[in-house]
């Protein structure tokens, strides 16, 4: 027990070192972690790490999805709902079909059912890798939004395809119309379950006397409960977590205090990083165990199949993205679209950012050793090797070349998009104008009698004299200090709330980026925390 604990402590230190190395080399950390784990896996006498798929699905997947949903923008997901839903559902199914027929054609003894199983495993791209890479280069934020939105949804559809294919292999039968009906039911009911559970947590946060620590603990319980309830009812646990997470994050400024939001953001940022880093490291360390399981296929043939399947995966995704661009341009003549003419550069980058990751490997590992009649599951070892090969090839090849591709294509924001500096200027102007208006219209009398409020007004106008006025009030008017401070705290809090309302109103406009809005909302939370601590 102590040796295992010590090993994982050392592993975390190695992860931190590799992440620092990745930052130094300006390479996305998932790539370095997978390669580092791969090298560690071949060190003799090192404890062998075996990934338990139940651990990935139950322990890692719900919080990672919940964290991603919390950072995602519902406005952007809705704006690009057609392209996101088509790639997260339609393209996943179509990719599974292509892989099924290709693998059936090139791999001896590989049935169509096994092909669909492999397709369901390797069809969903991993957004953590793509966004970590794209953050290093300048790309349109719409592209990031589409990639993140796709990744939130595609795991659900791929896992559903995987489960149906797994049942088909085990039973030897497959009824298309029944599978399609069940697929829709699993997806829709998964979303409903997530919203229902989220409403329970909404009520707890909103109407019960929770503290910041309690709110943070509840935020960890929520994704697990959403996932478990949905899976227990045989619906999509992934979509339950995503839908519930989007709902709660979208209402965080209604149900949580500023302190809960600040503390929760800090905790989730750290936990999300650790979980993602640990998973990518474990992926690399799993290879030796996978290689040992290759009993009926030579390593040379397994590598050949992996290269072919990886090539099909990469090429088909690029063709899908370019085809979607042409379809969008054609359909824009008859209906409104988010982008009437996407061109070919951004779709090409979108297609190339299709690295596979943890969900694919966890799905492959969850294939049972035996089927219903007690016989070994056919081609399990080869499916595991191909899955790892696809993850490694796409992550390293596409991951290392993606920044070069982005720079070569010189992607630009749309002409009508406001720059971040322009958004900042407009937001600050509207906040200052609204705040000064609130002081003048609602608190004019108090401002004229309260030097602290006069100092606050001056700070809003020229960012000065605030602290001096506070000190002068306390020093010169001890008898009225309590009343002055009480007025100051009440009116300052009201001002901050007014600023939040302005930001929420601005956030509903398409030309403003949610990341900019979130940054200003976080600054207001910090101001409120500073105000609370100053007069404790």
**Is residue 352 situated within a structural domain?**
yes
Answer yes or no: do 403 and 464 share one domain: no
Answer yes or no: do 379 and 461 share one domain: no
Output the domain CATH number for residue 373: 1.20.1530.20
The per-residue pLDDT for 71 is 79
301: nearest Cα among 103, 38, 118, 162 = 103
Pseudo-torsion of CA 276, 292, 389, 64, nearest 10°? -20
Using alpha carbons, list the distances in angstroms from residue 139 to 14, 301, 348.
31, 39, 13
Through-space distance between the first and last CA atoms of the chain, rounded to whole angstroms: 45
**Is residue 202 situated within a structural domain?**
yes
**Beta bridge mates, 370:** 376
CA distance 30 to 40: 15
The length of the chain in residues reads 536
pTM of the model: 0.74
**Is residue 153 situated within a structural domain?**
yes
Answer yes or no: do 70 and 29 share one domain: yes
Answer yes or no: do 394 and 492 share one domain: no
Q: Which domain range does residue 505 map to?
A: 420-534
Answer yes or no: do 313 and 456 share one domain: no
Answer yes or no: do 73 and 207 share one domain: yes
The per-residue pLDDT for 466 is 42
Q: How many CA atoms lie within 13 A of 180 on its CB side?
A: 4
Domain stop point among 359, 390, 409? 409
Answer yes or no: do 391 and 428 share one domain: no
Answer yes or no: do 244 and 326 share one domain: yes
**Is residue 415 situated within a structural domain?**
no
Answer yes or no: do 197 and 279 share one domain: yes
**Is residue 414 situated within a structural domain?**
no
**Is residue 189 situated within a structural domain?**
yes
pLDDT by 10-residue block (mean), the chain, 536 residues:
74 91 85 86 72 73 84 79 84 89 90 87 80 73 81 79 78 62 82 94 93 91 94 88 90 84 84 84 79 79 92 92 82 69 82 84 79 78 89 87 84 62 62 75 82 76 47 50 69 80 79 75 76 60
Answer yes or no: do 256 and 388 share one domain: yes
Domain stop point among 372, 388, 409? 409
Three-state SS across 70-103? HHCCHHHHHHCHHHHHHHHHHHHHHHHHHHHHHH
Q: For residue 35, how many other CB atoms are within 10 A of its CB?
A: 18
**Residue-wise DSSP of 87-148:** IIIIIHHHHHHHHHHHHHHHSTT--HHHHHHHHHHH-S--HHHHHHHHTTS---HHHHHHHH
Domain stop point among 385, 409, 433? 409
Q: Is the dihedral of CA 307, 311, 313, 314 positive or negative?
A: positive
Answer yes or no: do 354 and 245 share one domain: yes
């Amino acid at each position: 027990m102590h040796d295992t604990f010590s090993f994982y402590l050392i592993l975390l230190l190695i992860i931190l070192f590799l992440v620092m190395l990745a930052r130094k080399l300006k390479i996305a950390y998932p790539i370095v972690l997978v390669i580092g784990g791969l090298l560690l896996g071949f060190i003799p006498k090192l404890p062998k790490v075996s990934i338990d798929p139940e651990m990935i699905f139950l322990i890692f997947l719900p919080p990672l999805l919940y964290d991603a949903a919390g950072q995602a923008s519902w406005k952007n997901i809705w704006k690009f709902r057609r392209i996101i839903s088509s790639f997260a559902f339609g393209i996943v199914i179509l990719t599974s079909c292509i892989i099924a027929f290709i693998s059936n054609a090139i791999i001896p003894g590989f049935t169509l059912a096994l092909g669909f199983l492999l397709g369901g495993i390797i069809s969903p791209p991993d957004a953590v890798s793509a966004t970590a890479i794209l953050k290093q280069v300048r790309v349109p934020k719409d592209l990031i939004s589409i990639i993140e939105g796709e990744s939130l949804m595609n795991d659900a559809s791929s896992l559903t395809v995987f489960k149906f294919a797994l049942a088909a292999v085990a039973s030897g039968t497959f009824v298309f119309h029944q599978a399609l009906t069940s697929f829709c039911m699993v997806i829709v009911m998964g979303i409903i379950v997530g919203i229902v559970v989220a409403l329970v947590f909404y009520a707890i946060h909103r109407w019960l006397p929770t503290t910041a620590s309690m709110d943070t603990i509840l935020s960890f319980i929520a994704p697990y409960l959403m996932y478990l309830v949905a899976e227990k009812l045989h619906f999509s646990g992934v979509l339950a977590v995503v839908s519930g997470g989007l709902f709660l994050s979208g209402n965080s400024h209604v149900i949580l205090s500023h302190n809960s939001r600040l503390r929760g953001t800090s905790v989730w940022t750290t936990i999300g990083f650790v979980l993602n880093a640990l998973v990518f490291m474990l992926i690399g360390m799993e290879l030796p165990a996978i290689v040992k399981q290759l009993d009926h296929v030579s390593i040379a043939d397994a590598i050949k199949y992996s290269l072919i399947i990886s090539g099909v995966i990469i090429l088909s995704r690029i063709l899908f993205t370019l085809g979607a661009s042409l379809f969008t341009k054609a359909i824009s003549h008859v209906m409104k679209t988010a982008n009437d003419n996407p061109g070919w550069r951004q779709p090409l980058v979108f297609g190339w950012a299709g690295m596979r990751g943890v969900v694919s490997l966890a799905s492959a590992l969850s294939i049972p050793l035996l089927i219903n009649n007690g016989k070994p599951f056919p081609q399990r070892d080869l499916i595991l090797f191909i899955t790892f090969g696809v993850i490694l090839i796409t992550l390293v090849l596409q991951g290392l070349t993606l920044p070069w591709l982005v720079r070569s294509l010189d992607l630009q924001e749309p002409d009508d998009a406001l720059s971040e500096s322009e958004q900042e200027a407009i937001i600050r102007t509207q906040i200052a104008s609204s705040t000064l208006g609130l002081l003048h219209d609602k608190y004019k009398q108090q401002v004229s009698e309260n030097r602290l409020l006069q100092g606050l007004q001056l700070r809003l106008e020229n960012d000065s004299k605030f602290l001096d006025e506070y000190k002068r009030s306390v020093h010169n008017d001890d008898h009225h200090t309590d009343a002055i401070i009480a007025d100051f705290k009440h009116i300052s809090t009201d001002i901050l709330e007014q600023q939040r309302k302005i930001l929420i109103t601005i956030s509903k406009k398409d030309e403003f980026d949610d990341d900019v809005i979130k940054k200003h909302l976080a600054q207001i939370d910090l101001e409120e925390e500073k105000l609370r601590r100053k007069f404790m």
